[in-house]
Amino acid sequence: MDDEIKINRGLRGVYFERSSISSIDGTKGELYYRGYSIDDLAKYSTFEEVAYMLIFGELPNQNDLIEFQNKLKKHRTIPKEIHKIIENLKDGHPMDVLRTSVSALASLDQSSQSFSESAFIENGLKLTSQIPTIIASHNSIRNGNKPVDPNPDFTHASNWLWMLKGEKPSQEASKLADIDFILHAEHGSNASSFAARTTIGTNANLHAAFVTAISTLAGPAHGGAAEDVMKMLQDIGTPENVKTYILEKRKKREPITGFGHRVYKVEDPRAKHMKEGVKKVSIEMGEPKWFNILEALVKEMKPFSRHGLNVNVDFYSGALYKLHNIPPDLFVPIFAIGRVPGWIIQCIEQLRNNILIRPLTLYNGPKPRKYIPISQRK
């Protein structure tokens, strides 16, 4: 009987629920949020518009957008208790500090215990605004600086860069950050979103689900690829070393970071939107070598594209962050900032038709055996 049971390791290819949030065609390399192409959203929309659309199902009109933006701006300040936690954990990894701070926020806000769709939306909007502040505040404190207060005149992306660097960001930098958040906002039943839904399935609150999601995103197999790409570029050093690097990696049967995706069999549709940004910024900053190494990698990896080893979104993200002098250990937290709207609506969708998520494992251990008292064991 056991031989007749099919094991889908990693739940690969298993549909556990219906969803109206995002559609991914890995064969064609297409991604849609609520029916809108990621290409159109990256070109024409803003993060706030996309966040609204993901949460409420439709793009906002002008009045809806203004109200939504004002709500986000209102929640950007974090409690003094969270600042104290950050100070005590200043030497910790940013993802650990973020996870702990989000967990603490639940204790400081009674509404976090509410288990309704309206409460999830309200608490989700708070977390959308608080998470960038937590990350930026920790980065300031660990460097011996006072955290930069949020600026209510700035957009979500501009305010993030303002809090991170303490200076008004350029229009181009803000636009690239905005696009980056849009590209990472939602991606179906990825590991962190599935983990969040599993938490909601137990009737836990939204903050608990976010703690689960953040913990899952912190793993290098999910959110850490952008940081690893930058390490790879530094190891390679120059475009001329790319071919040798790939040959050595392939000989050791080690993966080339930034290539391949669990879902996409062709190039990740999000990647091209980051590529142009990296190219432009690298030229403007007089550091074209990083983009040149990336292009050399793409060229040398072309023969392996038929095996599904195509560029993914993280391939260019890491280089873009590096060009902006953002510390590598902030790459995954930046991913988290963008993914918040996706986590919110994934949790809400789970809540609407909630059920405990409890898959099975096929036992292959010892057959029933007699217990042996400790005095008789060898």
Residues carrying an active site annotation: 261, 314
Q: Indicate the helix (H) or strand (E) that contains 31.
A: strand 30-33
244 is written with which tokens?
A: 């040798």
- Cα–Cα distance between 120 and 340 in angstroms, integer? 12
Place of tokens 């689900």: 209
Sheet holding 22-25, edge to edge: 22-25, 30-33, 36-37
The CA-based dihedral angle spanning residues 40, 41, 43, 48, taken in that order and rounded to the nearest 10 degrees: 160
Q: In one letter, which amino acid is 44?
A: Y
Classified as helix, coil or strand, 34 is coil
Contact 207, 106 (CB under 8 A): yes
280 is written with which tokens?
A: 């432009």
Residue 61: Cβ within 10 Å count = 8
Q: Which of 369, 274, 370, 368 is nearest to 324 (CA)?
A: 274
Contact 93, 329 (CB under 8 A): yes
Q: Residue 166: which region, alpha, beta or left (left: phi > 0; alpha: psi -120 to 50)? A: left
- Cα–Cα distance between 27 and 264 in angstroms, integer? 6
Residue 269's φ and ψ, nearest 5 degrees, are -65, -15
Q: Indicate the helix (H) or strand (E) that contains 75.
A: none
- Cα–Cα distance between 24 and 262 in angstroms, integer? 11
Q: In one letter, which amino acid is 222?
A: H
Contact 201, 218 (CB under 8 A): no
Classified as helix, coil or strand, 58 is coil
